[in-house]
């Protein structure tokens, strides 16, 4: 049985609160004061990596999508097609519900950058105005920081929304009652890719002949295992 320094401090505090109570003395063999059991907050041997606060971890977690901009690829070999430039941009803690941000974020997927900005301009939703500003910001960064030659030669490769946090408050009611209010904030992430947008961003709906050919192929692939 070994008792750490924190336990000794707690016992001494209890003894001061109840001075009239007789406490049995602890033997020295029960005391363990090695560095492994001491409080890490008071020890000078803790490395800087171990002293990271929860706030630093949250900030690092928020910036994970921006790390895609730091990826360096190998140079293209002779005869290979050049890899198009990509820019990832995001905006944190937007005070709009993710459900309201979802529709305009999905709407602009696969569009050119100019068409996406125009669609957000014509939309009457407040979320579309936020996405429009993020697209203009990403377009400016692509030209100034990521060697994109023409700002109109970009298209929206990815566009999605995530939860970014909650803003809590209190609503006062009658008879000295109150309820909690939670407003979910959003994080919007967009990836712009250099070049012209593809003809079909999503797989096109198959025609009747294609469905029939797929059905016949699936029927011919059938096998009865362990049969006679």
113 Cβ contact partners less than 8 Å away, ≥ 6 residues apart: 135, 139, 151, 152, 154, 155, 156, 192
Q: Is 165 left (phi over 0), alpha (psi -120 to 50) or beta?
A: left
The end-to-end CA distance of the chain, in Å, is 70
User: Does the predicted model carry a pTM greater than 0.85?
Assistant: no
Across residues 47-72, what is the average pLDDT? Answer: 62
69 vs 85: CA distance, rounded Å? 10
Paired tokens of 90: 């995001």
Sign of CA dihedral 87, 93, 94, 96: positive
b/e per residue 1-14 (b: at least 16 CB within 10 A): eeebeeeeeeeeee
Cα 55 to Cα 1, 61, 162, distances in angstroms? 37, 10, 19
pLDDT digits (tens, 9 = 90+) for 149-167: 899 999 999 999 999 888 8
* Of the options 3.10.20.740, 3.40.250.10, 3.90.470.10, 2.40.128.50, the CATH number for the domain spanning 84-194: 3.90.470.10
160 vs 145: CA distance, rounded Å? 23
Using CA atoms in the order 112, 113, 114, 118, what is the torsion angle rounded to 10 degrees? 100
Across residues 40-51, what is the average pLDDT? Answer: 45
The full set of domain ranges for the chain reads 1-35, 84-194
Secondary structure E strands in the chain: 86-94, 154-173, 177-194
Residue 69 · residue 146 · CB < 8 Å: yes
Across residues 123-139, what is the average pLDDT? Answer: 94
Reply yes or no on whether the pLDDT at 34 is more than 50. Answer: no
DSSP string for residues in 188-215: EEEEEEESPPPS-SSPPPP-HHHHHHHH
Cα 143 to Cα 61, 87, 176, 206, distances in angstroms? 27, 10, 57, 38
pLDDT digits (tens, 9 = 90+) for 73-103: 888 888 888 889 999 999 998 999 999 999 9
């Amino acid at each position: 049985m070994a008792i750490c320094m924190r336990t000794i401090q707690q016992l001494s505090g209890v003894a001061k609160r109840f001075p009239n109570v007789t406490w049995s003395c602890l033997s020295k063999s029960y005391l363990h004061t090695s560095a492994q059991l001491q409080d890490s907050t008071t020890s000078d041997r803790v490395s800087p990596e171990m002293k990271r606060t929860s706030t630093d971890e949250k900030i690092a977690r928020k910036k994970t999508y921006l790390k895609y901009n730091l990826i360096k690829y190998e140079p293209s070999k002779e005869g290979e097609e050049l890899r198009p430039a990509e820019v990832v941009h995001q905006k944190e803690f937007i005070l709009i519900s993710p459900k309201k941000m979802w529709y305009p974020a999905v709407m602009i997927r696969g569009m050119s950058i100019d068409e996406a900005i125009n669609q957000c301009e014509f939309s009457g939703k407040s979320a579309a105005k936020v996405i429009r500003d993020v697209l203009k910001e990403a377009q400016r960064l692509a030209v100034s920081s990521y060697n994109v030659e023409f700002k109109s030669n970009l298209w929206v490769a990815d566009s999605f929304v995530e939860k970014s946090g909650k803003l809590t408050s209190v609503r006062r009611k009658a008879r000295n009652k109150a309820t909690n209010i939670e407003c979910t904030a959003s994080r919007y992430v967009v990836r712009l890719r250099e070049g012209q947008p593809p003809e079909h961003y999503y797989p096109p709906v198959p025609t009747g002949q294609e469905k029939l050919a797929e059905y016949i192929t699936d029927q011919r692939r059938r096998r009865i295992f362990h049969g006679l």
